[in-house]
Amino acid sequence: MERRELIQNRITADLSEGVMVIRFDGVIEYVNSAALDILQKRGKPLEGLSFAQAFFSQDDRSNNDELLQCVMDAVYRKDRIHERYVPYRTEKTTRHLRVVSSYLRDGETDVAVILLISDVTELLELRDAMVAMEKIRSLNTQLEIRNRVLQQTFGRYLSDDIVREILDEPDGWKLGGQKRRLTVLMSDLRGFTAISERMPAQDLVTMLNHYFAVMYEEIARRRGTLIEFLGDGMLVVFGAPQQTDTHASDAVAAALGMQKRMEEVNRWNAERGYEPLAMGIGINTDDMILGNLGSEKRTKYGVLGAAVNLAGRIESCTTGGEVLISPNTREAIHEELTIGKTVPFTPKGVKESIVLSEVTGIGAPYGLFLEKTMPALRKLPAPFPVDFSLLEGKSIVTGGLKGSLLALSEEEALLNPGTAELHELDNICIALEGDMLYAKVTGEEDGCSRICFTAKSPQFSAWVKSILGNAEKNKNEQKRIAET
């Protein structure tokens, strides 16, 4: 063997790639050991066999036509090097090969076809894994974007906790509910119906949206879940969807925070020429049904039960700036509470009355306290006659009643109801110079009813000042006469 041929055979023998030389008559002239390993032909002499015998015998049903095509590529296109990635099948496995085929030349003479064979199975598996990982990363990115869009979109209609529960839980949209002990907060603006009738629609919506935005900040701060807006009111649940042991305390802290921020809301209103707002809040703690309610086409995450209804009735007992809580809520709170007053209350459809508590403060760790001051009542020199009606809800139960105001401020009055019998928490409507003035009975003094105004017209303040001004003039005049 010539030295040159010896060197070439030595090099091909040591290559990790397989080398196979096939003469034009189809006989395999040379195969290195790497090719035997790659093609799983170790121990089977291939040199001297035809390519067809070696790979396409009747006993071999592996169907490796792609490998044959690599040889044919070199035969039919002699002017170039061909590269193919082909599967190579045996009875047990399928490997993936990179096959480079071309003509083997001796000077200007074509003498054979040469195949350079590499096993790229692991590389392709790695590549597929990397492609799969890239696809997974892409899908995760799309999922994050989708969730973010859903969070931002539905977060405007549902609380963040509800949206997360729906997105994260497989059965998040499934209809159904569970009984849980929760705390419900219901708020409402006093006299908003009358205000809405006096304001342009766009201004009304602007004012209401700002009010809701400020209130929601306090609700979210105390882990409350806004279930829905009820006109100018809100239904909020504490202790769901994430369970907490402090839901009653959180609800009271949120309510006090909301009341404290009404001053901020009304400053904003005054800067834009809007009327001031006053809010009442009722809170109740008890067992209720929580879950997805509705139908397959229209679902709402909500709460229901007698406990929710009671929270609404407690809220209806409030005047502007008040936070009233049920006995259950008071019992569930371990922090020190500051109680302004207690109010006996018999809910509709219930035989036994309960005692509501007006909360004006909650101790550490919340440390929230309301500074609620009411203008002192000024006694009128003479009874001021008024016509009034007794209400249930917004409907008149008894009309044409006669009474008189004995003392007055811009927030409260002392009313002699005449022959009418009024009780604490009764709602009345007073006819005032062509306008209607709404009030709630808050107590009794010397056989008269103390009332708190819940809805006032823009002319009310001027009317009060006029009456009190005339009373002051009469008082001064009487003093002057007495001195002379």
- HEC profile of 76-143: HCCCCCEEEEEEEECCCCEEEEEEEEEEEEECCEEEEEEEEEEECHHHHHHHHHHHHHHHHHHHHHHH
Tell me which amino acid residue 349 is.
G
Domain boundary (351, 369, 387) is at 369
334: CATH: 3.30.70.1230
**Residue whose entry in the numeric block shows the structure tokens 């009780």:** 423
Tens of pLDDT, residue by residue, the chain (484 residues): 454 455 456 556 667 788 888 888 888 888 888 888 888 888 777 888 888 878 776 555 567 788 888 888 877 777 788 888 888 888 778 888 888 888 777 667 777 888 888 888 887 777 766 766 777 677 677 667 666 655 555 455 456 666 666 556 655 555 567 899 999 999 999 988 888 888 999 999 999 999 999 999 999 999 999 999 988 999 999 998 888 999 999 999 999 999 999 999 999 999 999 999 999 999 999 999 988 777 767 777 789 999 999 999 999 999 999 999 999 999 999 999 999 999 999 887 777 899 999 999 999 999 999 987 777 888 888 898 999 999 987 788 888 899 999 998 888 999 999 999 999 999 999 987 777 888 999 999 888 999 999 887 777 777 787 777 765 565 555 555 555 5
- Same domain for 479 and 403, yes or no, is yes
Q: Could you tell me if residue 133 is inside a domain?
A: no
Q: Could you tell me if residue 336 is inside a domain?
A: yes
- Same domain for 339 and 393, yes or no, is no
- Collect all residues with Cβ–Cβ distance below 8 Å to 72 and sequence separation of at least 6: none
- Same domain for 177 and 73, yes or no, is no
- Same domain for 203 and 260, yes or no, is yes
Please enumerate, as own/partner, the contacts of 102-111 that have beta carbons within 8 Å and a separation of 24 or more.
102/74, 103/74, 103/78, 104/21, 110/24, 110/78, 111/23, 111/24
- Same domain for 48 and 193, yes or no, is no
- Same domain for 69 and 90, yes or no, is yes
Q: What does the alpha-carbon distance between residue 71 and residue 102 come to, in Å, rounded to a whole number?
A: 8
Q: Could you tell me if residue 102 is inside a domain?
A: yes
Q: Could you tell me if residue 388 is inside a domain?
A: yes
Q: Which of 43, 38, 47 is nearest to 17 (CA)?
A: 38
Q: Could you tell me if residue 95 is inside a domain?
A: yes
- Same domain for 283 and 172, yes or no, is yes
- Bridge pairing between strands 176-189 and 224-230: unpaired
Q: Specify the DSSP class assigned to residue 284.
A: E
Domain that holds residue 11: 3-119
Q: Could you give the C-alpha distances from 442 to 321, 322, 327, 412, in angstroms and in order?
A: 14, 12, 19, 9
- Same domain for 186 and 112, yes or no, is no
What global pTM score does this model have? 0.66
Q: Could you tell me if residue 213 is inside a domain?
A: yes
Contact 159, 225 (CB under 8 A): yes
- Same domain for 360 and 212, yes or no, is yes
- Same domain for 365 and 409, yes or no, is no
Domain boundary (119, 147, 177) is at 119
Cis preceding linkage at 365, omega within 30 = yes
- Same domain for 365 and 399, yes or no, is no
Q: Could you tell me if residue 141 is inside a domain?
A: no
- Same domain for 428 and 313, yes or no, is no
Q: How far is CA 90 from the centre of its chain?
A: 57
What domain count does the chain have?
Answer: 3
Q: Could you tell me if residue 136 is inside a domain?
A: no
Q: At 199, phi and psi to the nearest 5?
A: -110, 145
437: CATH: 2.40.10.220
The DSSP secondary structure of 163-213, one letter per residue, reads HHHHHHSTTTT--EEEEEEEEEEEEEETTHHHHHHHS-HHHHHHHHHHHHH
The DSSP secondary structure of 36-55, one letter per residue, reads HHHTT-TTS--TTSBHHHHH
